[in-house]
């Protein structure tokens, strides 16, 4: 098994917040505290170490008490830029990424991704969760920003991003990736609901 102390958790808060009118999503109020802080606190007890990826308002994020690192790639290059930044600064064998806008993610996320990675001898493990399509049909779909990565994958990701690659699915498809479905009895079907807009954030808060 992979020891908890061998995992560094990374909160991804480096986006533009375009669908929130350019607001810094991680600093939006959720139940009286910044959204990213809720995410960080939920992550901290699942892993040995934590840090944040952010590209603005760094002092505000630093006040949470963990290291904060901006993207090493320019121009808000997306989640993979956060992955790369995390891998560059990770001092443990594994990195676990979570987005700042999904504060109800499972409290056994790390444990189950570890089990999946070990079970399949994989280089990475990714969560999958029920999602409804446009017709209301529910399917279990990958949630690629909830990803457990071997730190050795950094060289591969550097090559991919230097070649202009930006899509998570394209990069992860190059490696052995274990999927862990969070659709067991007792799993919260709304655990992976994320707030891309202020209205969705309000909905998330009402559900809480």
As a whole number, mean pLDDT of residues 84-88 equals 97
Domain assignment of residue 176, given as a range: 4-207
pTM, full prediction: 0.95
Tell me the two tokens of residue 197.
Answer: 């807009």
As a whole number, mean pLDDT of residues 26-54 equals 96
* DSSP code at position 93: S
Lowest mean pLDDT among 14-18, 92-96, 124-128, 142-146: 14-18
Q: Confirm or deny that 25 is annotated as ligand binding.
A: yes
As a whole number, mean pLDDT of residues 146-174 equals 96
In this prediction, residue 33 carries a pLDDT of 94
Q: Confirm or deny that 111 is annotated as ligand binding.
A: no
Residue 171: name the closest of 121, 112, 126 by CA. 126
Instruction: Give the CATH number of the domain where residue 180 resides.
Output: 3.90.550.10
As a whole number, mean pLDDT of residues 96-104 equals 96
Collapsing DSSP to helix, strand or coil, 45 comes out as coil
Q: Confirm or deny that 59 is annotated as ligand binding.
A: no
Q: Confirm or deny that 71 is annotated as ligand binding.
A: yes
Q: d(Cα 114, Cα 108) in Å, to the nearest integer?
A: 10
Q: Confirm or deny that 12 is annotated as ligand binding.
A: yes
Q: d(Cα 131, Cα 141) in Å, to the nearest integer?
A: 6
Q: d(Cα 148, Cα 105) in Å, to the nearest integer?
A: 14
CB 197 within 8 Å of CB 20: yes
In the predicted model, is pLDDT for residue 208 greater than 90? no
Place of tokens 């991804």: 12
As a whole number, mean pLDDT of residues 62-68 equals 98
As a whole number, mean pLDDT of residues 135-150 equals 93
- Report the percentage of the chain scoring pLDDT > 90: 79
Handedness of CA 46, 51, 57, 61 (dihedral sign): positive
Collapsing DSSP to helix, strand or coil, 141 comes out as strand
As a whole number, mean pLDDT of residues 5-33 equals 90
Beta bridge mates, 127: 143, 180
What's the mean per-residue pLDDT of the chain? 94
**Number of domains within the chain:** 1
């Amino acid at each position: 098994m992979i020891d908890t102390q061998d995992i560094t958790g990374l909160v991804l808060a480096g986006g533009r917040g375009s669908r929130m009118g350019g607001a810094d999503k991680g600093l939006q109020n959720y139940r009286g505290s910044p959204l990213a802080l809720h995410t960080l606190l939920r992550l901290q007890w699942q892993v040995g170490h934590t840090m944040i990826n952010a590209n603005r308002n760094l002092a505000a994020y630093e006040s949470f008490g963990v290291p904060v690192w901006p993207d090493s790639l320019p121009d808000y290059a997306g989640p993979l830029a956060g992955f790369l930044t995390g891998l560059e600064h990770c001092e443990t064998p594994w990195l676990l990424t979570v987005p700042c806008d999904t504060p109800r993610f499972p409290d056994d996320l790390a444990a189950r991704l570890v089990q999946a990675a070990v079970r399949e001898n994989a280089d990475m493990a990714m969560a999958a969760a029920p999602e409804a399509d446009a017709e209301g049909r529910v399917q279990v779909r990958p949630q690629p920003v909830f990803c457990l990565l071997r730190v050795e994958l950094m060289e591969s990701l550097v090559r991919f991003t230097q070649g202009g690659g930006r899509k998570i699915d394209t990069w992860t498809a190059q490696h052995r990736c274990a999927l862990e479905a969070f659709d067991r009895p007792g799993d919260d079907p709304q655990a992976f609901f994320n707030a891309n807009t202020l209205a969705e954030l309000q909905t998330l808060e009402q559900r809480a």
